[in-house]
Structure formats: C-alpha cells, structure tokens
Amino acid sequence: MTGGRDGLVRTVLMAAGIGLGVALLLVASCVPTVRYHRDERIHHRIDTNLDDRVVTPSRRTVLVSDIDTVFRGREIRGRMLEPEGPAALLPPGVTRFPRAGEMVVSPALRKLLAAPGSDLLRERLDHPITGEVADGGLLGPGEYVFYLGGEHMADGVAGARRLDHFGKVYSEKPLAPELVLLSVVGIVVLLAPVAVFIAAAVRFGGEHRDRRLAALRLVGADRRMTARIAAGETLASALIGVVLGAVLFMIGRQFIELVDLQGLSVFTVDLTPEPVLAALTVAGVVGLSLAVTRLAMNGVAVEPLGVVRHSGGATRRLWWRIAVPVLGLLLLRTSVGDGSDIPDATSIVLVVVGMLALLIGVTAVLPWILDQLTRVSGGFGPLSWQLAVRRLQLSGEASTRSVNGIVVAVAGAIALQTLFTGIAHGQNGGSRAAGNSPTSSTHIGVARLDDGKGHAERYASVFSSTPGVQQAIGYAELSVSEPDDGFPETVRVAGCAQLRLLASLPTCTDGDAFAVTPHGTDGAADTTVWTSGRTMRIDLNGPLWKVPHITTSAEAKSSSLHGEFPEKMLLATPQAAGSTAMTHAVSTISIRYSAFSEDIQDRLRTTAARLDPSFTIDFPTQAKSDTALDGIRRALLAGVTAVLLLIAASMLLGALEQLRDRKRVLAVLVAFGTPRRTLSCSILWQTALPVAMGLLVAGLVGTTLGSALLSLIGKTAVYDWSSMLVIAGIGAVASVAVTMLTLPTLWRSSYPQNLRYE
C-alpha cells in the first residue's frame, strides 16, 4: 500500500522538517573549516614583528601604521602603508600600493561609504579610492578594511613600524577555561533544539499512519510486520529529508556571503562541511528518526479493528520527569573539580551530558505541568477556551511537542546569556571607570598622536570646535622612570594656560615645573619622589632626562578631566621640560563632551582623522571588551538566531499538520454553527497556553543552568533580566506569528465540503 494522498502529505511534511534540521546541522559541521580558513587569513595578514628582530631598510621593506577606526559600532581595520623599495611586499589582498593620500578598500567598506547616513565616515575617509581588497586579505565578505597610502613615514614615529614580510605562523594559545565552557555551552544550546525539532518532525502524521497500519493488521499483518513497515516509512522519509537538507544547504551556501549576523560573515568557499561531521549528521538523523518512531509505537496498540492510544486517562508520573533534570544538575555540580579542569575531555563530556539532561528535562516536565493545568482550568470560561483545554487534554503531548523546540531553545539561550553576562561581569570587575555613570551628562575622551611635534595645544583648539565638545585640554605627555627599571612616572608638558586647567597653580611662567598631587589626597598615599636634577629615562629605552627645577607643589583641580591622578605627577612648561622631552612626548588631548550630543564619538573620530590619520582616540568611560569573548558571543548569537528561525518553521509545520488531521472535526463544528472566530481563538489558546507554561519553565531551567555553569568556574551569577525578557519575548512572538500564519489553513479546513469521507 502507498498510503494515498495522506501518506504522501505525511512524507512531504516529515521530509521537509528533517531537511530543515539537516541543513542547519550541515552548517554546524562547517564550523571547523570556517575557523581554519579564518585563522589562516589572520596569520597571513599579521603585520607586527613578533620575533623582535631589528629590520633594516631595504628594497623589500615597507612601513606600516595602524589607523583603525569605529563608525557607529562597526569596527573598521585601517593601515597606512609606505613602501621603502621597488620590491616591497604587499599585504594579502592588495595588488599594488596606493599612492600617498589614496586608499584601497574592502567591498563592504565601499558600500558603507556610499550608504545614506555615512556622511561622517565619508568625511573621515575622504581619500580617492583606487582599488578593492581581495578576499585573501579579508576575514569575511562583510569585514570593513582599508589601506591608505602614506608619505614621510618614519620607523618608530606615530606608531609606524618597518616590516620585511607579512604573516606569521604561531601556535595558538589555549582558550581560557571560561571561554572553553562558553563554547561548549553554545554548541549544546544550538544543537539540542535541532534534535528536538527533528524528533518532532518524525512524528508528523502519526495518527494517519497508525490507521493505515490497523488496516494492514486486518488483512493479516502481525505486529512485527507493522513495526517494520513503520520503520521503513520513517527511513524513507528520513533519507528524503537528508537529501532535501543537502539541497537546501547547497542552495543557501550560494547566498551565504549576503548574510551578516552579529558582525559575523563567511565566504562561500569556507562553508564546506567536515566529512566526518557530515557523515555523523546523516547517521545521527537516521538513527534518531528510527528511535523516535519505535518509542512512539510503544504508546499505541495497533489492532485489526482500530487504534488504541495509551493517553487521555493515563496518569503521568512526575518522579522520573523530575529525576532527569535533577540528574543533569548533579552531573554539572560534580563534573569539574576547579575551573582549570574544564578543558579536560572527561569534564567536557560530563558537562555536555549534564546540560542535555537538564535541557531535555524541560520537554519531560512540560507535559505533566500542562496536564495539571488543564485539569484545574477545564469546565469554565468562554467556548474558545474550553475547546482549547479539551483538545490539550486529549492530545497534550502533540501540543507540547510543537513547542518543545522553542522551549529548549529559550532555556538554552537564557543559560547562555547568564553565562556570558557572568563572565563579562567578572572580567570588568563589575565596576565602571570614573565618569562612566550611565546617568552622567559628561563623558571623557582622550586623543593621542605620537608625532614628536608638540602641537597638542593647536590640536586641542580644533577639537574644541567640534559640536558637542565642552572642553579640550592639550598637552605633551611622556613616561619616565629611573634607569634601573624604576616605577614609571608621568610628565605633562604644556603652556601655562593649559596647565591651569589641570591644577590650581599659584603662579606660572615659562620655565616653571610643578609637582601635582591628586585632589583631596594631599599625596598621603603617593609613592613617587620628584627631586630636581634627578636623572630619569624616557620610556623603556629612550634617552636620559633630568627633572627640572620644581617651582612649587600644587593640587589637581577636582573639575579637571584627569583630576584623579594615579600618582603625584609633574607638570612642566616647555622651557622647563626641554627639547629632548618634547621630541619624545605624545601629543595628548583630554576632551570633555556631552553624552547627549548626537554621534559625538564619531564626530570626534572624524576630527582626529582629519588632523592626522595616525591619531588614536580612546573613550575611558566605555567598558573594554575581550576580543575572544566578543568573537564567541557574535558566533553564538548568530547561531541562536538561526535556531529560533528553524524552530519557528518547525512550529508552523506542526500546526499545519494538526489542522490537517482535524479538518473533519472543524468542519462538523462549523456545520453546527460554531463561529470561525471562536475556532481561531481556540487555536490561539491552544498554542499560547503551552508556550506560556514552557517559557516559565524555560526561564527557571535557563537561570538554574546558567548559575550552575558559572559555579564551575568560580564566578557569581549576574542576571541580565532585560535580555532574558527579550529572549522570552522573541519566543512568544514567534508562537503568535505561527498561529496567525495557520489561520488561512484553519478557515479552509472548516468548510462543510471537508465532511466528505471516502
């Protein structure tokens, strides 16, 4: 028997569901290849002399300076290049050196420069574009990169360095234990919902299949034969789904370069599945499909005269449903002795098993909770509510099966968010820099240029004219220490007008120097000793310098931008500091700006770039981020987004399958006068109730799992409630959206013509 149209529809639905899951798993199997190619590109374009060799000028050398920038949160990698000879080596992705004042850009940066609203960036990078950076010089198609031609560059000045080659191969440092844990958690969180989704897809159309098997029993088939037939149907659908998933993967692969999730993009050539992982994907999907079919048959008695389902009157036992997540929690608590044990293979396996038990435990507990809720709430309320409750009582497992994926995804995402927040909070110590209060109306920026020209005061006047800037103080800054590796101490050099903005000076003329103590401390905790005539060394390997005659002591102004000095600081006028100090000093501009001025940070970056592309500008009031942590966060958030889209598709297929099974019942209700609006509300209640209960359980399990994971690395749980509400809100919105998309099918299914039966 072929099963007719119903059998064909079931096969198509199952194959479509499995195909979506297989496509996502194939994408996951590409992660090692993507990482390998990305690391290769990173190594090939390293432009730092990591082995500390002294590189002498030659026809092959090139001068390189970092001129990175940021535009509205987008990081832009920039380098200034000047070849020193005709055979100078080019950086990867660049075919020829740009002339002075010209630049070559990546395709993504060219699009960003041409986009509406990028006026500040166009003003900042106002240079003729003479070419594009090829794929070999980019980490991904969405990376923003530019190379600017320079002139009169000098090694060691303004951050310039001399290179005779690009690229460096070095052994990777192992990830910190917390980053290993974050990666493992992310993999489990991304793949567990996919497995739940595939398991749900395998059970599409189960009622129709069981009725066909009952007919086969009537003509002489025994139970073993019907079990083999069910397994054969599932195997055929699974294999079709695997092929469909491979086709979807190949089609989506062609458009992958157009996708940019959380700043992460990959080239088409990078998205190549690892053969072993791809084979495991196929074997795992087929094995899971057969196992789910066998387990589903245990709850059904297929007899010659019909199908008897072991549900409805059966009482669900709670003890084993609670035992699964409790076991997972115990495994997590005992899997790791201390944080350093996490990279161990055994510890990782125990963590993965514990997480899976805790997450899968959600799918076991949810039907019992829904059963208890429907028993309490049934028998009263509007007709739509009673219809929904009765349907949930009759087929609670089918209803929860459609939302299990999103519940597991939300629980995992909340656990991941809790873990990430705890790690990030532990790295910055939970504190903010001075002036970093979110309610403060004034923030601080510091611009620096290591040019040795001593034009800080002129630069400060330009920054002062930038809209939103309240005050800019320019001075030359250098670090000095005793020749025998003493503690570094700071000297700031400027005219009297600028020095008076930093400290309360009784008098000031050119040639004076002042020992300034932090405001309100009287120098009680100070460990520095400023003595006139004392010999110091500038920087680590700079020339010797003598401390000038100190006119008097002074106190820093409490209102100054850097009034909270880390130690007693020497303020000197240019004549007192001398030409040696001015040559080796860094031009520094301290900027106070309004936090409410639109695009103020981008305006300051543009002003700095217009003065000199080598200007660097920092905002101490912004929390510093860890590069590895940010990379993992972007990758995981991109994966969570893809999983949520998959789960939404799963819910839509499940809802359509249930409506197809119930079309005759819906037609009978409409024929007896039930308004279609009542049926629509009933479908909404039927989806909303399991989702609401599931999200509550997911929130509890997610926070518990996140706290347990943080305890493994000795960190305190810090809950980002707003992000958790957003994650739960996304799940709720997806559920409502899926219900709305099923309404046209509901209305078609409720036509009286569906009462016909053959």
Ranking 30-34, 550-554, 732-736 by mean pLDDT, the lowest is 732-736
CA angle, residues 408, 413, 415, in degrees to nearest 5: 95
- Sign, CA dihedral 711-714-716-719, equals negative
Give the C-alpha separation, 573 to 596, whole Å.
35
- Which burial class, exposed, middle or buried, applies to 530 when counting CB atoms under 10 A from its CB (0-12, 13-18, 19+)? buried
In angstroms and rounded to an integer, the radius of gyration of the C-alpha atoms of the chain is: 33
pLDDT of residue 179: 64
The pair of three-digit structure tokens given for residue 552, joined into one six-digit string: 């008097």
How far apart CA 367 and CA 386 sit, in angstroms, is 18
Do 370 and 399 form a contact (C-beta atoms < 8 A)? yes
pLDDT of residue 348: 74
Both tokens assigned to 90: 């080019």
- H runs (alpha helix) in 341-455: 345-377, 383-394, 396-428
The per-residue pLDDT for 436 is 44
Half-sphere exposure of 628 (CA within 13 A, CB side): 15
Read off the pLDDT of residues 624-652 as tens digits, 9 standing for 90 and up. Answer: 555 555 655 666 666 666 666 766 766 67
Mean pLDDT of the chain: 79
Token reading at 28:
């996951």
Overall average pLDDT of the 541-563 stretch: 78
The pLDDT value recorded for residue 20 is 82
Residue 535 to residue 532: CA distance in whole angstroms: 9
Q: For 672-731, write each residue's pLDDT tens digit.
A: 777 878 887 887 787 778 878 888 888 888 888 888 878 777 777 777 777 777 777 776
DSSP state of 157: S
> Taking 80 as the threshold, does the pLDDT of residue 18 lie above it?
yes
Q: How far apart are CA 434 and CA 255, in angstroms?
A: 46
Query: What tens digit of pLDDT does each residue of 279-329 get?
Result: 988 998 899 888 887 777 665 555 555 554 544 445 567 778 888 888 888
> In this predicted model, which residue has the larger pLDDT, 26 or 541?
26
pLDDT of residue 716: 76
Mean pLDDT of 742-747: 75
User: What pLDDT is stored for residue 516 in this prediction?
Assistant: 87
Answer with the residue of higher pLDDT: 434 or 223.
Answer: 223
Rounded to a whole number of angstroms, the distance between the first and last alpha carbons of the chain is: 16
Domain ranges within the chain, ordered by starting residue: 4-37+175-429+627-755, 47-163, 442-618
DSSP labels, 242-291? HHHHHHHHHHHHTTGGG--BTTB---GGG----HHHHHHHHHHHHHHHHH
Tell me which of 8-22, 90-104, 199-213, 345-359 is least confident. Answer: 199-213
Q: Which of 119-133, 306-320, 350-364, 522-536 is predicted with the least confidence, judged by mean pLDDT? A: 306-320
Which among 309, 321, 411, 314 is positioned nearest to 366, based on CA atoms? 321
User: How far apart, in whole angstroms, are the C-alpha atoms of residue 412 and residue 569?
Assistant: 51
Q: Which residue has the tokens 């909303």?
A: 688
Integer CA distances (angstroms), 5 to 212, 494, 742, 758, in order = 12, 87, 21, 12
Q: Where are the beta strands (DSSP E) in 112-157?
A: 129-132, 144-149
Indicate if the alpha-carbon torsion angle 16, 17, 22, 24 is positive or negative: positive
Task: State the pLDDT confidence band at 563, using cuts at 50, 70 and 90.
Answer: very low
Q: Where are the alpha helices (DSSP H) in 519-617?
A: 574-577, 579-584, 600-611
> Which pLDDT belongs to residue 378?
66
CB atoms within 10 A of CB 721: 9
* pLDDT for position 251: 93
Q: What is the mean pLDDT of residues 379-384?
A: 77
127: left (phi over 0), alpha (psi -120 to 50) or beta: beta
Across 457-530, where does the E strand assignment appear?
469-481, 489-493, 503-504, 513-517
pLDDT of 75 strictly over 80: yes
CA distance 59 to 276: 47
Q: What is the pLDDT of residue 311?
A: 45
- Split at pLDDT 50, 70, 90, the class of 488 is confident
Question: For residue 327, with 0-12 CB atoms within 10 Å meaning exposed, 13-18 middle and 19 or more buried, which class applies?
Answer: middle
Closest to 433 (Cα-Cα) out of 602, 665, 622: 622
Interval 552-561 mean pLDDT: 72
Is residue 194 within 8 A of residue 21, CB to CB? The reply is yes
pLDDT of residue 213 exceeding 50, the answer is yes
- What pLDDT does 1 receive? 44
Question: For residues 363 and 701, what is the distance between their CA atoms, to the nearest angstrom?
Answer: 11
Q: Which residue has the tokens 């303020």?
A: 571
Beta strand segments in 109-179, E = 129-132, 144-149, 161-163
The confidence score (pLDDT) of residue 277 equals 86
Q: How far, in Å, CA of 424 to CA of 554, rounded? A: 39
Residue 520: band (very low, low, confident or very high) from pLDDT cuts 50, 70, 90:
low
Q: By C-alpha distance, which of 310, 412, 413, 395 is closest to 690? A: 395
Q: Which of 633, 655, 647 is nearest to 730 (CA)?
A: 647
Residue 215: count other Cβ atoms within 10 Å of its Cβ.
Answer: 13
For position 92, what pLDDT does the model report?
A: 93
CB-based contact 655:742 (threshold 8 Å): yes
What digits encode the pLDDT tens for the residues 96-144? Answer: 999 999 999 999 999 999 999 999 999 999 999 999 999 999 999 999 9
Is residue 439 predicted with pLDDT exceeding 50?
no
Give 168's pLDDT tier (boundaries 50, 70, 90).
confident
Residues 580 and 538 sit within 8 Å (Cβ to Cβ): yes
Task: Give Cα separations from 334 to 344, 346, 353, 418, 689 (angstroms).
Answer: 14, 12, 12, 20, 36
Share of the chain above pLDDT 90, in %: 23
| Structure confidence at residue 205 (pLDDT) | 59
Give the pair of three-digit tokens for residue 527: 């460990």
Nearest Cα to Cα of residue 599 among 121, 111, 108: 121
Query: In this model, does residue 216 exceed pLDDT 70?
Result: no
Looking at the chain, the whole-number percentage of residues with pLDDT higher than 70 is 76
Could you give the 3-state DSSP secondary structure of residue 553?
A: strand
Answer yes or no: is pLDDT of 438 > 50.
no
3-state secondary structure of 532: coil
Region 732-747: mean pLDDT is 75
Phi (first) and psi of residue 477, to 5 degrees = -125, 135
pLDDT at 587: 92
Report the distance separating Cα 689 and Cα 376, nearest Å.
13
pTM of the model: 0.75
CA separation (Å) from 201 to 238, 370, 398, 401, 445?
10, 21, 11, 9, 55
Query: Among the listed ranges 469-473, 499-503, 511-515, 518-522, which one has the minimum average pLDDT value?
Result: 518-522
Identify which has the larger pLDDT, 724 or 504: 504
Residue 441 pLDDT > 70: yes
CA 572 to chain centre: 47
The token pair that represents 407 in the structure block: 């519940």
Q: Which two tokens mark 668?
A: 């009978």
Confidence of residue 506 (pLDDT cuts 50, 70, 90): confident
Within the chain, how many helices (H) and strands (E) appear?
A: 21, 20
Whether 240 and 201 have beta carbons less than 8 Å apart is answered as no
3-state SS, residue 3: coil
Q: What is the pLDDT of residue 144?
A: 95
Q: Would you state the pLDDT for residue 697?
A: 84
Which of 270-284, 331-345, 481-495, 715-729 is predicted least confidently?
331-345
Q: Which two tokens stand for residue 401?
A: 């099966």
CA atoms within 13 A on the CB side of 93: 25
Q: Among 224-238, 470-484, 539-553, which stretch is predicted with the lowest mean pLDDT?
A: 224-238
In angstroms, rounded to a whole number, what is the distance separating the alpha carbons of residues 271 and 532? 65
Tokens representing 61 are: 């050398």
Contact in structure between 620 and 444 (CB atoms under 8 Å): yes
Residue 170 has a pLDDT of: 59
Which residue reads 């905002």 in tokens?
Answer: 619
